[in-house]
Each structure stands twice: as C-alpha cells, then as structure tokens.
Chains A and B, each alone.
Chain A
Amino acid sequence: MSEQTPPTTSRDQSSRAVGVGRVLIVIYAILALGATARSVVQILTKFDAAPVAYLLSALSGVVYILATIALVKRGTPWYRIAWVTIAFELLGVLTVGTLSIVDPVLFPSDTVWSYFGRGYVFIPLVLPILGMIWLYVRRPAKVAA
C-alpha cells in the first residue's frame, strides 16, 4: 500500500515477517485480540469501576493491533510506526505496572498492563523488548536506524 519504496537494495532486507519474526507477529496478534476483546467487554460491563484503566486498556489494544500491522508491513514508515508503538507498549507496561502496585483502585488487576502484565503471564512486559531486538536486527538500512 505504501507508495514509498524501502531504501534498501535487497527487497527482502526490510521485511520483518520472516523466520522467528513470524512467531513474534503471531504472539502480537493474539495479544492484540485478547487486550482489545477484553477491554471491550470491560467497558460494556463495568466501565464505572475504573474508567481510566479500562480506557487505557482499550487504547493498548488498539496500539497492539497497530504494532502487529507495522511489523508485517514493509517500508521505512511502517518501521518507524513499529518502533513508536512498541516503545509505547514498553512505557505503558512499566508505568501502569508501577501505578497498579502504588494505587490498586485506579488500576485494578484485570487490565493488560496491571502488575507488569501478570494476568497475561508477563507477556506484555517481555514482548516489547523482544520486539525492539527484532526491529534492531531487521533494520532496513543503517541510515534509517
């Protein structure tokens, strides 16, 4: 869909959807599905209990979806979007993880990022780090990174 061509000479160089990266993308897709579906249910059924936390959950779900797409797509713009979304997730899990311990009322235990993603086997904490390593390994060109 992108009208810009990647700056690399080899056409496969810029793709993130190869080898072990595919596994990463699938885990991202499952997390995106889980976080989005769950936050929709929470907003529909118990929004008043913790509006901030559940809205943030919904936002995180959308960002996970965007990150999944950005990991699949080729080209430098998508590479940048992947970095931004994955960095946002790491920031989110660290911030909300800390806040949920400090203030359990504002951030109940059943959001994606609460207690550093404990309800999701800490995948939300580990995945952005793996994602960043993968993005670094598969950087389109030295100039773009």
Chain B
Amino acid sequence: MIEWFTLAQVGVAVAAGLFCVVMGLAGRNPNDFTMGATALVELLLVIQLVVAIVAPALGNEPSGSALEFWVYLVSAVVLPPLAVFWGLIERTRWSTVILGVACFAIAVMVYRMGQIWTVQLA
C-alpha cells in the first residue's frame, strides 16, 4: 500500500461523495458528472487492488491482518458498480444521493484499509 496514494484516494472519495449528495439533494438525476465521479472512485480502487497484489512481492507487506484488509478491499471494489447500476435503472435524484453514500462508504473503507496496512496498536 502506498501511503500518499491511499490518502489521495480517501480525499477523492470524500469529494465525490459530497458532490453526489449535494447534486442529489439539489434534485439532479444521475448524470455524466456524478456517474463519472463514482467511476473515478472505482478506478482508484482498481489501482489500489493492483498495488495491494504487487506490493507484498516488493517487501511492502501489511502490518495488520491481511484477511481483514482483503475483505475490505473486495467489498469496496464491488460497491461503486452497484451504485452506478442502480443509478442507470432508477433515474431519480435519490439515486444520485446513493452514489454519494457509496463514495462516502468507500472513503471510510479505504481509510480503515490504510490503518490495517500501516498502523498497529497491539
């Protein structure tokens, strides 16, 4: 796991989440911008997935539970496509809010993943 990338990823996910929730509450249906923001969050997750596969081979190993890390990562990768899928079939403003909720969830999950990888209390 690359620390600056992970931090940037949390930042992008929070920004995308705020953007989608605000757009949704403003009454916008899912559009290219909100879908695009969610797609960007997903793209970063896929990059994170690749990093997590490659990093241990280069000596960058998780200091915490690898199992817990992977449960988070796999769940996270699945979320944005589900939210986007929902936004495609259900074209209401609440779907835009749901895109935002998914992005916020990703932000929290990536933050937790960063903790598992780098910070250990015990």
Contacts and interface: CB of A to CB of B under 8 A. Distances in A.
Interaction A to B? yes
A41 B75 contact: no
Contacts of B67: 41, 44-45
Interface in A26-64: 26-27, 30, 33-34, 37-38, 40-41, 44-45
Contacts, number: 41
Interface residues of B, number: 20
Interface of A is mostly: helix
Nearest to B21: A23
B71 A37 contact: yes
A89 B94 CA distance: 25
Given A41-B71, A45-B68, A30 B105 contact: yes
Contact of B108 (A33, A40, A121): A121
A80 B52 CA distance: 44
B65 A41 contact: yes
Contact of A22 (B72, B98, B105): B98
A26 B100 CA distance: 11
A12 to B, nearest CB: 14
* In the A-B complex, the 4 residue pairs with the closest CB atoms: A41-B68, A37-B71, A22-B94, A26-B98
Interface of B: 65, 67-68, 71-72, 75, 79, 83, 86, 90, 92, 94-95, 97-98, 101-102, 105, 108-109
